[in-house]
Structure 1
Amino acid sequence: MSGAIDAHVHLWNRATDPQPWIDPATMAAIDRDFAAGDLERMLDETGSATAVVVQASNSIAETRRLLAGAGPRAAGVVGWIDLTGDVGAQLATFGPDPRRPLVGLRHLVHLDPDPAWLCRPDVGAALDALQTHGLCFDLVVRSWQQPLAAAVAGAHPGLRFVVDHLGGVADTTDDDGWERGLRALAARPNVSAKISGLARLVADPPRLRRVVGLAVEAFGPQRLMYGSDWPVACLGAGPVAWRTAVEEILAGLSAGERAAIMSGTAAACYGLGT
């Protein structure tokens, strides 16, 4: 097994953390619980050593459970707290030594009813506090939200931002608008991005190769990281086929560039193993 890091996976137990977005009719492949043992099997199948487990609901209780029970192959957790509240007080509730390190935070911006949530003054103050605590902020946004995300990243140049799923390209038909938004994000030196959330595009190889190639050009390998978005990837080609597609697209890069995308960027950005 390589030392690859899968920078974006989820775990959920719906008895404690309901996932109302899962439609049993159209999402039958993920209409169940996913635990640490399932994650280990997926990592073995795809050839990754460890993973970053990312919150799936805006719940501090879910984050506590992930920090305690994400399993030995979880290198870190990107969790959730209420960024309109007291950041320090909420982080203190996780205790001094959780089983897995909290490496970043995320809010489901793409689902928030407030389209201006990212630029709220109290959220801005919280983002400054994240920098003080050495945490990243994952941006899960729709393609049309990318310009706002770029402006927020520019307003907080000392905070590391990570764009999930290449800014929502799989959920838009406006590739030109998406490209402008992604390039605006890439222009911010404190922003990295995940080649993740694109397993559905494996069925469209020309488009997949085009959007990943554009991301490599815009960000460079040192600011890109691979993620499976498992188990959501099971709604598309699945994590094994997705990993294979990514490796084929990146085959023309140097060994060092491929290593950055498959492990180095995630390790550096999230402070894994340090």
Structure 2
Amino acid sequence: MSGPVIDAHQHLWRVEDGYTWLDDPALKPIRRTFTPADLRAQLAANGVDRSILVEGGRCDPDEAAVLLGYAAATPEIAGVVAWADPEDPGLAETIAGYRRLPGGHRLVGIRSQVQAEPDPFYLDRASVREGLRVIGSLGLAFDLVIRADQLPAAARCARALPSVRFALDHLGKPPIRAGEIEQWAADLAGLAACDNVTAKLSGLVTEADWESWTAGVLTPYISTAVDLFGVDRLMFGSDWPVCELAGGYRRWVTALREVLPERAVFGPVAARTYDLGRE
């Protein structure tokens, strides 16, 4: 299958704009501003044509203007997944406002920081699901950035909302560093049973030991995802620049191409998930 190689998950941020999560001392290597020029250099160096720019944990609607502005000026950015609160009663107007911004035509999805919600049943809330219905009705995907223990609630949510396209970020953050797989795999199976869900092979290197991970360490988790989703519902994502904490872009994409060379995960699934052909 031909077509561009697409990185389905990367970030850009300006540290002065409120990314307080970067204050963690362990994150010092990535506590700096990353620009479209930095991104273009990474894509070119790794044989990647386009990318999906995902909100970076700022949790502020003003971030959307910055990210969409980057997309308007950077052809390599195929789409933007912006932050919004699913429980916002003005959600539809918030999204309409995003679309009026320069680069608004590149809005392809919405994400909120579900992983930061202490309530394991957050995705079971009627108010959250109503917001997700709004997102789906507006033609956008919803990115699920969740902890492994939130996978069962995500599965219930996806089953209840079959018309909404969901993209699971980072395979639901499996406990790779601990070497655990069985419970995560069982819970992932419930979500994979929902045809409206695709999943990103992203963020795995930072769930492993940052220094010592190898392709072999990641293989059982990637193979489980292939068994459950099939390659036609999996997509490559770098999670750059976060992956710089664990060896960087080149190390991750080389490992993934070694373990899983199938062409589908490197572009077509992302194009379908984020409806990139609509332009």
Would you say same fold, with TM above 0.5? yes
Taking the aligned partners of 2:177 and 2:152, their CA distance within structure 1 comes to: 15
Aligned to 1:228: 238
Establish whether residue 272 from structure 1 lines up as the match of residue 276 from structure 2.
yes
- 1:113-135 alpha-carbon deviations (Å, 9 max, x no partner): 43332222111111111121111
Q: Residue 263 of structure 1 is aligned with which of 261, 267, 279?
A: 267
Q: For 1:104, what is the secondary structure of its paired residue? A: strand
Question: What pairs up with 1:92-241 in 2 under 5 angstroms?
Answer: 92-96=96-100, 98-99=102-103, 101-170=106-175, 173=178, 174-200=180-206, 201=208, 203-241=213-251
Aligned to 1:255: none
Establish whether residue 77 from structure 1 lines up as the match of residue 87 from structure 2.
no
Taking the aligned partners of 1:180 and 1:114, their CA distance within structure 2 comes to: 21
Aligned to 1:39: 39
User: After the TM superposition, which of the residue ranges 171-180 and 215-224 deviates more from structure 2?
Assistant: 171-180
Taking the aligned partners of 2:162 and 2:218, their CA distance within structure 1 comes to: 30
User: After the TM superposition, which of the residue ranges 80-89 and 213-222 deviates more from structure 2?
Assistant: 80-89
State the Cα distance separating 1:170 from its structure 2 match.
4.7
Task: Report the residue type matching 2:199 in the other structure.
Answer: A
Residues 95/102 of structure 1: CA separation in 2 closer, same or farther (3 Å cut)? closer
Q: For 1:141, what is the secondary structure of its paired residue? A: coil
State the Cα distance separating 1:268 from its structure 2 match.
0.7
Q: Superposition RMSD on alpha carbons, in Å?
A: 1.7
Unpaired runs of at least 5, structure 1: 252-257
State the Cα distance separating 1:69 from its structure 2 match.
1.9
Percent of matched pairs sharing the same residue = 38
Q: For 1:66, what is the secondary structure of its paired residue? A: helix
Q: For 1:157, what is the secondary structure of its paired residue? A: coil
Aligned to 1:9: 10
State the Cα distance separating 1:3 from its structure 2 match.
1.9
Taking the aligned partners of 1:26 and 1:15, their CA distance within structure 2 comes to: 18
Residues 158/217 of structure 1: CA separation in 2 closer, same or farther (3 Å cut)? same
Instruction: Count the aligned residue pairs.
Output: 266
Residues 172/129 of structure 1: CA separation in 2 closer, same or farther (3 Å cut)? farther
State the Cα distance separating 1:50 from its structure 2 match.
0.7
Q: For 1:273, what is the secondary structure of its paired residue? A: helix
State the Cα distance separating 1:93 from its structure 2 match.
1.2
Q: For 1:198, what is the secondary structure of its paired residue? A: coil
Task: Report the residue type matching 2:205 in the other structure.
Answer: A
Question: Retained in 2: the 8 A contact 1:53–1:77?
Answer: yes
